[in-house]
Structure 1
Amino acid sequence: MLKGYGAVILDGAGLTLQLALCSMALAIVLGLIGVALRLSPLRWLAWCGDTYSTVIRGIPDLVLILLIFYGGQDLLNRVAPMLGYDDYIDLNPMAAGIFTLGFIFGAYLSETFRGAFMAIPRGQAEAGSAYGMSPRQVFFRVLVPQMIRLAIPGFTNNWLVLTKATALISVVGLQDMMFKAKQAADATREPFTFFLAVAAVYLLITSVSLLVLRAIEKRYSVGVKAAQL
């Protein structure tokens, strides 16, 4: 059916999944940093967090990918000679893809995390402070564990969107599933067959992801539901 390209596309699917997982790991870190800035009592830090979230969410993903990959590469090659490095720097598409998607979805997750933090009663943080915890300890020991349960629905949506957005990284030469499917389609002149196969793999990844994340959400909600009853 796939004229011998099945293994090639599956190999690309592995790279796509790796890209998505690494990007999400970076996005979680940036999202937590972003929400910490946005909830900071210092106005300039809150402004930095709000600016990051607003600007990144307002620019199309494809534009940011091209800006970071080509613009970043150009910037590095302009700065490197000033530092004594004369060889041409060629950005790795995988590294650029992870950084770009992580940077983009870090902004989206900062909004998801902010909503989750705002839903936590203020008394929780006050109780932590009353026990002598520092603001950092209150954030990571008291607020973050409760935030996770509230953020899972929004996190799930962001993960699904990020997984699909990995297809955009093929435009900068990353040989992911989409890139391999395009090559196969060009070689066989049967684009429908290969793009339909890619769509099925993406659907499989997102379906399995939904099952896993719903199980996690259910697990985190057990104690809460029991307490409400």
Structure 2
Amino acid sequence: MQSALTLLSWGPEGWLDDIAAGVFVTVCLALATLPFGLTLGFFVALAKQSEEPSLRLAGNIYTTIFRGIPELLTLFLIFFGIPLILQYIVRLVSPGTSADVNSFVAGMIALCFIFSSYSSEVFLSAFRAIPKGQYEGGYSVGLSIGQTMRLIVLPQLIRIALPGLANLWLILLKDTALVSAVGLNEILRQSGVAARVTKHAFLFYGFAGLIYLLLAIVSSFGINAIERAVGGSEVKR
């Protein structure tokens, strides 16, 4: 029977190269999802605090749907639903042509919807923590709505929302494991393949857990650095 060191080594007898490729896919998926999820969450938060009732209703419906449906079910709906929509559109434009969505794109879209629904609540709480006088002060010195948002509100918003968004980033890293259910070769899927082939399930799933823990620790250092930078810029003001 092969030893643990052999199984977790590089080369034809080990699985470390496959798992490392899975780590790369996991990190790429999380990083690709983050900017879209943050942007969408920000605009959903704007809609939820809008004076227009229809925008508030749309924002509340959006967050209710994606916070209420299980993450795995959201992934399945998108993975199997988007090809149907694309196929319908393609048939209208070019009959006889097929369309498909790969696991990475489907996972990114699903995680983006999930992440944005939660991040919108973080942004909404941050918006509500900023006094109305901040907006009025910007308008009183001649700033436009966009300038007031960019120069006065956004710096405070980022500082207030950062701890909550940092927690959501860690959750996003772990949620990438869900995409293994639709065939993406990330950490959990690669570890599962190794476990089935070698019959060392505890070894590889335990190793996968250590990798996720290491990613969380590295992320925590990065988050702390960002928080210090944001706090330092606030003190300089």
TM-score (norm 1): 0.93
Matches within 5 A, 1:1-229: 1=4, 2=8, 3-222=13-232
Q: Which runs of 5+ in 2 are unaligned?
A: none
Letter in 1 for 2:50: S
Alpha-carbon distance change, 85 to 146 in structure 1, aligned in 2, over 3 angstroms? farther
Structure 1 stretch displaced more, 206-215 or 64-73: 206-215
**Which residue type is aligned with residue 16 of structure 1?**
T
Higher relative contact order (CA 8 A, sep 6+): 1
Q: 1:139: Cα distance to partner?
A: 2.1
Please say which of residues 209-218 and 198-207 is displaced more in the overlay.
Answer: 209-218
Structure 1: runs of 5+ lacking an equivalent: none
TM-score (norm 2): 0.90
Measured on the aligned residues, the alpha-carbon RMSD in Å equals 1.6
- In the TM superposition, residue 221 of structure 1 has moved relative to its aligned partner by 2.4
Per-residue deviation at 1:54? Answer: 1.8
In 1, the alpha carbon distance for the partners of 2:98 and 2:199 equals 36
Q: Tell me, in whole angstroms, the C-alpha distance in 1 between the residues paired with 2:146 and 2:153.
A: 10
Deviations 1:73-128 (CA, angstroms, capped at 9, x unpaired): 12222332122242221211111111110111011111001111111111111111
Counterparts of 2:95 and 2:145, CA distance in 1: 43
Percent identity among equivalent residues? Answer: 36
Contact 2:86 2:100 in 1 (8 A): no
Number of aligned residue pairs: 227
